[in-house]
Amino acid sequence: MTGQEGTPMTEQRELLPTATGRQTVAALRTLLRPRRWLAGAGLLVLTSATAVGLFVAPLLGHVVDLVTTGAPASAITTPVVALAVVAVASGAATAWGLTLIARLGEGALAELRERFLDRALRLPLGQVERAGSGDLTSRAGNDLNAVASVVRSGLPELARSLLAIFLTLAGLAVLDWRFMAAALLAAPVQLYTVWWYGGRALPLYARQRVAVGAQQQQLLETIGGAPTVRALRRREQHLGLVTGRSQEAVDLTMRGVNLVTRFYARLNLAEFIGLSAVLATGFLLVRSGEVSIGAATAAALYFHNLFTPVNIALGLIDDVQSATAALVRIVGVADLPEPAAPPAPRTPADASLHADAVSHAYTADRPVLHEVTIAVPAGQRVALVGASGAGKSTLAGLVAGVHEPTSGSIRVGGVGIGDLDPAGRRAVALITQEVYVFAGTLAEDLRLARPDATDDELTAALEQVGAAEWAAALPEGLATVVGEGGHRLTAAQAQQLALARLVLADPAVAVLDEATAEAGSAGARVLEASVVAALQGRTGLLVAHRLTQAALADRVVVLDEGRIVESGSHDELRETPDGRYAELWRAWSGRRDADHAA
């Protein structure tokens, strides 16, 4: 895989890979190989339809000859009926052939989309974070749509147009080889135009798609961080960043429009040259008596009929270039090699957690954790406490397998996190403050964690986390549509939904990264009880947003600048004079008391 070249405004992210030309061709072969019969049948039917349609021009030429020679009106009846039959047969065969080609394209597109989504869902979250979610979403949205557009409309039309071009040239040769030679005078201009355009379009479209991904990433960051942006009075700066990203995408798009305009201007010149040559040839051949007026008319009609397929075929180059730039980005993800499986996957002996001398840096000059060692016995709950940027979420992500530590090791039940067998990997679950409610019924959303769960089991999971009351009050209970376009859940309800999924998935180890941060004070108190209930019988590692969560844990670990500075029970640390946790507790308690008084 090769990396992508960024544009000037694009920040230097480690973007997801793109495929090489050879890899893209190999992927297309893999998609088309099982559909060879559809391709063959579709091309055969379209060839037949085009061949039948070629009879229109000579039949019209024959009618012209009959009229110019003064033939009776009855003599025209047969060619007119033949024209009608040819039109109906050609139209029916064309529709059938396009249907077969469409089935070929839709089947291949569906398989490509499934492969992309399957691989995207299994990408390491750390890799997605380094690339930025905008890169992945632009591939899943804009790029797939660009390929789909070409497959659905461009591919059938391209096949039909190419067949029409070759067979029409053959028809010109049958009339007189000099007609075909005259028509081909347009070819050098057309070929040069394609060469000129192709060398400029593909790099331009590749840069444009990277710019669109950067634009989406900036929009996601600005919208997602809107409260922080407003709090820090950074609105103008972020609007400037969005404007810069958008302007870059617009500039590249307008360069593409300018390129396409010049492309079509040159094609129009080629049409003028070819038609002039065919008409001049027809005039000379008719004057010398070598062909009839009807044959010259048929030749002119043939060439005129070439305008549409040639323009469609060459015009589709623009769409194909754009789709190719999109396809290499899609295949780059879809064909990513699977991570190497551990040589001997092992099952953890228990639900204990051990982080031994773990250090981590997102970049070489940006260390986040330094020699962190934590041991969490099976069934114990440990809360991570510290200021923003202390490394809490990073440590949680390492334990959950989102990132790999730069140095040190993380073990679950005595087995390294990378050596766990599939069952062992499912034994560790991560819940963050960013909970997604999927579009569908509440029951379908819950069954994402356990597809075979019964309605009674779903209800029991909701009851365990304190969500049964509001779930029962929904208009249709478990059958109520939630998520996009459905019933809107509050932040606390969405978090309880995530905790109910955790109960249904039943992992031995649960990592909760500020799972109550999105709720208000009242909602947070409810969620804290939900968290305790969901963690019953499990080993828990909690990134504590509120210190009341830490107070409920068996042990509290205080991080400061990526290092453990304190560890002990809530009561022990609270009573430690001049301790970091005691300082945090006093400050937090003071704010809480002030809020209650207000």
Q: Out of 173-182, 229-238, 310-319, 367-376, pick the least confident.
A: 229-238
pLDDT over 70 at 581, yes or no = yes
Residue 528, C-beta contacts closer than 8 angstroms, at least 6 positions apart: 516, 546, 548, 549, 552
Query: 232 — phi, psi (to 5°)?
Result: -90, 5
Confidence of residue 5 (pLDDT cuts 50, 70, 90): very low
Q: Which residue type is seen at 528?
A: E
DSSP assignments along 359-408, one per residue: EEEEETTEEEEEEEEEEE-TT-EEEEE-STTSSHHHHHHHHTTSS--SEE
pLDDT in tens, 135-173: 777 788 888 888 888 877 777 777 778 878 887 788 788
| Residue 560 tokens, joined | 């400061």
- Range name among 118-132, 299-313, 394-408, 423-437 with the lowest pLDDT average: 118-132
Instruction: Give how far Cα 387 sits from Cα of 157, 393, 446, Å.
Output: 61, 11, 33
d(CA 162, CA 182): 19
**In percent, how much of the chain has pLDDT > 70?**
89
**169-202 pLDDT tens trace:** 887 887 788 888 888 888 888 788 878 877 777 6
Q: Which residue has the higher pLDDT, 104 or 153?
A: 104
- Say what the alpha-carbon torsion angle 440, 441, 444, 446 is, to the nearest 10 degrees: 110
Residue 502, token pair as written in the block: 């955790």
- pLDDT value at position 497? 92
Interatomic CA distance for residues 450 and 426, integer angstroms? 12
What is the pLDDT at residue 7? 39
pTM of structure: 0.62
Full DSSP string of 129-167: HHH-HHHHHHIIIIIHHHHHHIIIIIHHHHHHHHHHHHH
Q: What is the mean pLDDT of residues 69-74?
A: 72
Band of pLDDT at residue 3, cut at 50, 70 and 90? very low
Q: Give, rounded to a whole angstrom, the gap between the first and last alpha carbons of the chain.
A: 59
283-303 pLDDT tens trace: 888 888 888 787 788 788 778
Range with the poorest average pLDDT among 105-109, 227-231, 236-240, 387-391: 227-231
Instruction: Please give the C-alpha separations between residue 23 and each of 2, 28, 29, 106, 124, in angstroms, as whole numbers.
Output: 10, 9, 10, 21, 22
- Is 542 in contact with 383 (CB distance < 8 Å)? yes
Question: Does residue 485 contact residue 439 with C-beta atoms inside 8 Å?
Answer: yes
Provide the pairing of β-strand 366-376 with 353-363.
antiparallel
What are the residues whose beta carbons fall under 8 Å from the beta carbon of 238, sequence distance 6 or more?
222, 229
Q: Quick check: 550 pLDDT over 50?
A: yes
Q: Give the residue, 524 or 551, on which the prediction is more confident.
A: 551
| 313 has pLDDT over 90 | no
Is 54 or 405 the better-scoring residue by pLDDT?
405
Residue 430 pLDDT: 87
pLDDT of residue 12: 53
Q: What gap in Å lies between CA 378 and CA 376, rounded to an integer?
A: 6
**Reduced to 3 states, what is the DSSP secondary structure of residue 480?**
coil
**Coil, helix or strand at residue 510:** strand
Q: Which of 183-187, 216-220, 486-490 has the lowest mean pLDDT?
A: 216-220
Task: Write down the mean pLDDT value for the chain.
Answer: 81
**Residues 236-249: pLDDT tens digits?**
777 777 788 888 88
Distance CA 28, CA 129 (A): 29
Please name which of 418, 437, 568 lies closest in space to residue 496, comparing C-alpha atoms: 437
Q: Which of 186-195, 211-220, 228-237 has the highest mean pLDDT?
A: 186-195
Judge whether residue 532 has pLDDT over 60.
yes
Q: Please say if the pLDDT value at position 359 is more than 70.
A: yes
Look at residue 47 in the predicted model and tell me its pLDDT. 82
Q: State residue 556's pLDDT score.
A: 92
Domains defined for the chain, CATH in brackets: 21-334 (1.20.1560.10), 353-597 (3.40.50.300)
Burial of residue 289, with CB atoms counted within 10 A of its CB: 0-12 exposed, 13-18 middle, 19 or more buried: exposed
Q: DSSP string covering 255-310, please?
A: HHHHHHHHHHHHHHHHHHHHHHHHHHHHHHHHHTTSS-HHHHHHHHHHHHHHHHHH
- C-beta separation of 435 from 527 below 8 A: no
Task: Please choose, from the candidates 151, 197, 209, 200, the residue with its C-alpha nearest in 3D space to the C-alpha of residue 317.
Answer: 197
> Looking at residue 330, what is its pLDDT?
87
Instruction: Report the candidate in 383, 382, 387 with the shortest Cα–Cα distance to residue 587.
Output: 387
Q: What percent of the chain has pLDDT over 90?
A: 12
Decide if 139 contacts 116 (C-beta within 8 A).
yes
242-254 as b/e: b if 16+ CB within 10 A: beebbebbeebee
Question: What's the pLDDT at 342?
Answer: 59
Burial class, 590, CB count within 10 angstroms (exposed 0-12 / middle 13-18 / buried 19+): exposed
Please state, in angstroms and rounded to a whole number, the distance separating the CA atoms of residues 210 and 189.
32
DSSP states of 301-321: HHHHHHHHHHHHHHHHHHHHH
In our burial notation (b when 16+ CB lie closer than 10 A, e otherwise), range 558-575 reads bbeebebebbbebeebbe
| Amino acid 539: pLDDT | 92
C-alpha 596/C-alpha 598 separation (Å) is: 5
